[in-house]
Amino acid sequence: MSKSKYYTTAFWVETGDRAIKTFGGTWFAVLTADAIRGLRDVDWVDSWSIVGLAVGASVAWSIGSAPVGTAGSASMIPLGAVKDTTTK
């Protein structure tokens, strides 16, 4: 019986990487949009709620894409499917 993608360290490292990037990007966007009125007026509970929802969606997408992509990867795109044309 083969090992599930979910049991690989690489899968969870990639999932964590995506979740951290999603956290940072969403938090920055929500804080920037909400802080237009001023930092004292930021609704912190709603801001963290939105960030948490985005991170949860990111992790769910990684888990959902596991059966599609390369074994051990959280990506839906198979490794090697995209050719690097920047190097000679």
Q: What percent of the chain has pLDDT over 70?
A: 89
Q: Is the pLDDT of residue 59 over 70?
A: yes
Distance CA 32, CA 56 (A): 21
Q: Return the HEC string of 8-53.
A: CHHHHHHHHHHHHHHHHHHHHHHHHHHHHHCHHHCCHHHHHHHHHH
What pLDDT is recorded for position 1? 46
Model pLDDT for residues 74-86, shown as the tens digit of each residue? 777 777 766 767 7
Per-residue confidence band for 28, with pLDDT thresholds at 50, 70 and 90: very high
| Whole-prediction pTM | 0.74
